[in-house]
Amino acid sequence: MKTENSTLRLEAFSDGVFAIAITLLIIEIKVPSHEDLKNQTLFQYIGHQWPKYFAYVLSFINIGIYWANHHYLFKFFKNTNHVFNLLNVFFLMAIAFLPYPAGILGEYIMEPEHTRTAVAFYAFAMCLPAMGYFMIWIYAINNKSIINIKLSSRFIKSLTLQYAISNLLYIVAFIISFFSAIASITLSVALTLVYLLPSKKPEYFE
Amino acid sequence: MKTENSTLRLEAFSDGVFAIAITLLIIEIKVPSHEDLKNQTLFQYIGHQWPKYFAYVLSFINIGIYWANHHYLFKFFKNTNHVFNLLNVFFLMAIAFLPYPAGILGEYIMEPEHTRTAVAFYAFAMCLPAMGYFMIWIYAINNKSIINIKLSSRFIKSLTLQYAISNLLYIVAFIISFFSAIASITLSVALTLVYLLPSKKPEYFE
Amino acid sequence: MKTENSTLRLEAFSDGVFAIAITLLIIEIKVPSHEDLKNQTLFQYIGHQWPKYFAYVLSFINIGIYWANHHYLFKFFKNTNHVFNLLNVFFLMAIAFLPYPAGILGEYIMEPEHTRTAVAFYAFAMCLPAMGYFMIWIYAINNKSIINIKLSSRFIKSLTLQYAISNLLYIVAFIISFFSAIASITLSVALTLVYLLPSKKPEYFE
Amino acid sequence: MKTENSTLRLEAFSDGVFAIAITLLIIEIKVPSHEDLKNQTLFQYIGHQWPKYFAYVLSFINIGIYWANHHYLFKFFKNTNHVFNLLNVFFLMAIAFLPYPAGILGEYIMEPEHTRTAVAFYAFAMCLPAMGYFMIWIYAINNKSIINIKLSSRFIKSLTLQYAISNLLYIVAFIISFFSAIASITLSVALTLVYLLPSKKPEYFE
């Protein structure tokens, strides 16, 4: 019989969802209709789409970072179980949802009467995978059957703290958005840039 | 030569279809056009979309459950053959179809004159993968070349009964929809919640 | 170093394209707009979409069959090379193209002034992957580095004949479409049904 | 514990993005609405779409070539690291972006007032994955932990030169587009055809 409860197929499925969600981001950037080009040249249209390119790049990098982190975390996992699968499904549901708030951000961030809502919705949507990811980690460290090596408690504490802070910052970005859209989106971008830095994680074995 | 008739590539292909169908659900939730925002703010628009979020979450979880169950079942299968491949194709066709009834559910469940049809169509569409899944199981237990270990007859009976009841309940949800949309969708949600519970399956070996 | 020229990644990539093309078929069946429901109920609309369900099922099964056949053929291949990769890309290009003629078939097959064109275009589009598949096979049997076992010449002749006839029948379906749309689509459906039958292939080893 | 930093999951994820981006190209070719067929037959409509088929084929082949080259390059890589993952994400972001300029090319290349912009934007978009690919290679040859065998310096120089020239030619195609759209797109097509030729790479081992 095949290795039961191995994480292999779970990882393959997750990678599929990551890959599709990240690639679907582009369909929010529409080829202009002839109607769209009545009052502007194609060149102007392409230029005016910059908020969409910004939303595309920001969201692509964020999904890419989640993919890399998911990849990193699953190195430590050898088994899965029903609850763990479900937590992963909830996490993926939050990832697969991102093209929608990303589309709204790209469409409405530069329209003054909608900026705040667009930014707040995007910040809110960014909280969801952060929470899902955190729950996956918390569940895993409390279920010895999931983890495949003895992780040092220092490593566990370090990652837990890091993910908790990350969640907190996403929530802060969401709350800030009610007061200042520009501050909120700046924080979102800053968070993304921080995650692009190589992290100095402590050794995970004792 | 490569291992003939192994289920590996079938599983990979199925996972691909699961991953794409589940991720495509989001494209039924459209970024509003400027036209859409003439009589409401973006905030109101996002709020009014809640039936779509409901349809998204319900369908995402259902496809996720099917993925997990498919994964669970294929642990017992070591070979495939022509008919088995076809049954799997029919099952995947039913899975890949779901974004359409999910989109209709999200769009029309809250419009009184369309609620019943939207719910009935969704309930009908939910019967299809249940039937396909059941057929895969029935075919497999009657073809010894598919199954790779000796499953206990108690286990086989238990799973068969469980899948038969599941099919029956989906059909009931469909029939009920002609009398009460709210009862039908409640049953669909309840079924989904039941499948989220960890199942207490008997041991599968003798 | 990793196994060079192995077909593994080629198969994985092909499976990805198969899975996406097959799942994208559903996006040609659109959720009705409120405009669409002005002169008909949602129930009527869903019923009137039957040509689209027909096109969906026909195309889904055809892509599924190609996937299964591709799977079957690649059992015999152990290496790939530049030309072989290209032939596979051309084949996949034809597969990935299918959602477009399938969409046109579903939309226009029941509109008398467009039926013939819709059917002819679909029949034409079905010729392309058949040709691509045939070229993959012909190239493979003429390049010993691709095939990983000694296939019996009887088996090679049998498959070559079978694929040649298949190509011919697709071309016939295309040509017939200029005279009778109904005869052409009937032939396409019949071909699909034939491929659903388990084939009695001769032993492939000597 | 699983093999750390292996490139396997990176390759699988990349293949997913390649497969989705390449298959999404078809959604830029829309099934005509009844409105579209008011002044032309379906046959004429399908014929008039040829610039879209051209953009589809050109882009499909280009993404296919990138997939094959990525595949080729990753044979030499055994490990990944944070920066390497990021470079790959940037490369994939450029690949996943291609359906948008491909859609614009197909829609506007034959409309005189938009030709130049459509071609220039496509040429610009083609520079991005070329740059990303080049950066992956340059980073890899400067990080011994990435490469898994001792590549001959002659091979490294040869590939570096080849990729540098390739980048240069894409930039030239972009610059030319400001002067002559036809010359630019001709160069793009010629580059694609050149990459279809089997390359005569020197031996990579010493």
Q: Tell me which H or E stretch contains D176.
A: helix D153-176
Cβ contact D42–C117 (<8 Å): yes
Alpha helix ranges (H) inside chain C = 8-24, 42-48, 50-74, 82-97, 99-108, 112-141, 153-176, 181-196
pLDDT at res. C119: 96
Round the CA-based radius of gyration of chain C to a whole number and report it.
19
Mind telling me how many Å the CA of C155 is from chain D's nearest CA? 30
DSSP state of A79: B
Q: What is the pLDDT of residues A156-189, one digit of tens each?
A: 999 999 999 999 999 999 999 999 999 999 999 9
Cβ contact D26–C27 (<8 Å): no
For tokens 């895993």, the residue is A140
- What the block records as the tokens of D40 is 């032309």
Residue D120 near residue D177 (C-beta atoms within 8 A) = yes
Average confidence (pLDDT) over B65-94? 89
Best residue of D23, D28, D73, D205 to probe chain C, by most C CBs closer than 10 Å = D23
Q: Round the average pLDDT of chain B to a whole number and report it.
A: 90
Round the CA-based radius of gyration of chain B to a whole number and report it.
19
Alpha helix ranges (H) inside D25-111 = 42-48, 50-74, 82-97, 99-108
Share of chain A above pLDDT 70, in %: 94
* pLDDT of B199 higher than 70: no
Q: Alpha-carbon distance A36 to B39, whole Å?
A: 22
Cβ contact B75–A1 (<8 Å): yes
Q: Residue D168's pLDDT band (boundaries 50, 70, 90)?
A: very high
Among C99, C77, C100, C102, which residue's Cα sits nearest to residue C88? C77
Residue C74 near residue C11 (C-beta atoms within 8 A) = yes
Residue C55 near residue C35 (C-beta atoms within 8 A) = no
Residue D67 near residue C88 (C-beta atoms within 8 A) = no
Q: Residue C202's pLDDT band (boundaries 50, 70, 90)?
A: low
Cβ contact B20–C23 (<8 Å): yes
Q: Alpha-carbon distance B197 to B61, whole Å?
A: 12
Cα D12 vs. chain centroid, distance in angstroms? 18
Chain B residues close to C78, C-beta within 8 Å: 2
pLDDT at res. A206: 54
Average confidence (pLDDT) over B108-112? 93
Average confidence (pLDDT) over C59-86? 89
Q: What is the pLDDT of residues C3-53, one digit of tens each?
A: 555 788 788 889 999 999 999 999 999 999 998 999 999 999 999 999 999
* pLDDT of A117 higher than 50: yes
Residue B147 near residue B140 (C-beta atoms within 8 A) = yes
B203: region left, alpha or beta (phi > 0 left; psi from -120 to 50 alpha):
beta
Tally of CB atoms within 10 A around D62: 21
Q: Alpha-carbon distance D173 to D139, whole Å?
A: 25
DSSP state of D79: B
Best residue of B6, B13, B22 to probe chain A, by most A CBs closer than 10 Å = B22
Q: Alpha-carbon distance C64 to C67, whole Å?
A: 5
pLDDT at res. A1: 44
Q: Which residue type occupies A195?
A: Y
Chain D residues close to A27, C-beta within 8 Å: 24, 27, 99
Helical axes A112-141 vs A50-74, angle rounded to 10°: 0
Mind telling me how many Å the CA of A205 is from chain B's nearest CA? 31
* pLDDT of A97 higher than 80: yes
* pLDDT of B200 higher than 80: no
pLDDT at res. B128: 97
pLDDT at res. A11: 86
Share of chain C above pLDDT 90, in %: 68
Residues 6+ apart with CB under 8 A from B190: none
Q: Which residue in C25, C67, C198 is closest to B13 by CB distance?
A: C67
State the Cα torsion A154-A156-A161-A164 to the nearest 10°. Answer: 180
Q: Alpha-carbon distance D43 to C120, whole Å?
A: 10
Q: Alpha-carbon distance B114 to B112, whole Å?
A: 5
Chain C residues close to B129, C-beta within 8 Å: none
DSSP state of A27: G
Mind telling me how many Å the CA of D53 is from chain C's nearest CA? 9
Average confidence (pLDDT) over D157-161? 92
Best residue of D26, D62, D71 to probe chain C, by most C CBs closer than 10 Å = D26
Burial of A103-112, coded b for 16+ CB within 10 Å and e otherwise, reads: bbbbbbbeee
Q: Which residue has the higher pLDDT, B151 or A130?
A: A130
Q: Alpha-carbon distance C198 to C201, whole Å?
A: 9
Q: Which residue in C28, C83, C104 is closest to D198 by CB distance?
A: C83
Q: Which residue type occupies C26?
A: I
- What the block records as the tokens of B189 is 């949600």
For tokens 């990579």, the residue is D204
**SS3 for D83?**
helix
Helical axes B8-24 vs A8-24, angle rounded to 10°: 40
Q: Which chains touch D (3 or more CB pairs under 8 A)?
A: A, C
ipTM confidence: 0.90
Residue A81 near residue A68 (C-beta atoms within 8 A) = no
Q: What is the pLDDT of residues B154-191, one digit of tens each?
A: 889 999 999 999 999 999 999 999 999 999 999 999 99
Mind telling me how many Å the CA of D205 is from chain A's nearest CA? 31
Q: Residue C1's pLDDT band (boundaries 50, 70, 90)?
A: very low
Helix, strand, coil % in chain A, rounded to nearest 5: 75, 5, 25
- Which backbone phi and psi does B79 adopt, to 5 degrees? -125, 160
Residue A151 near residue A205 (C-beta atoms within 8 A) = yes
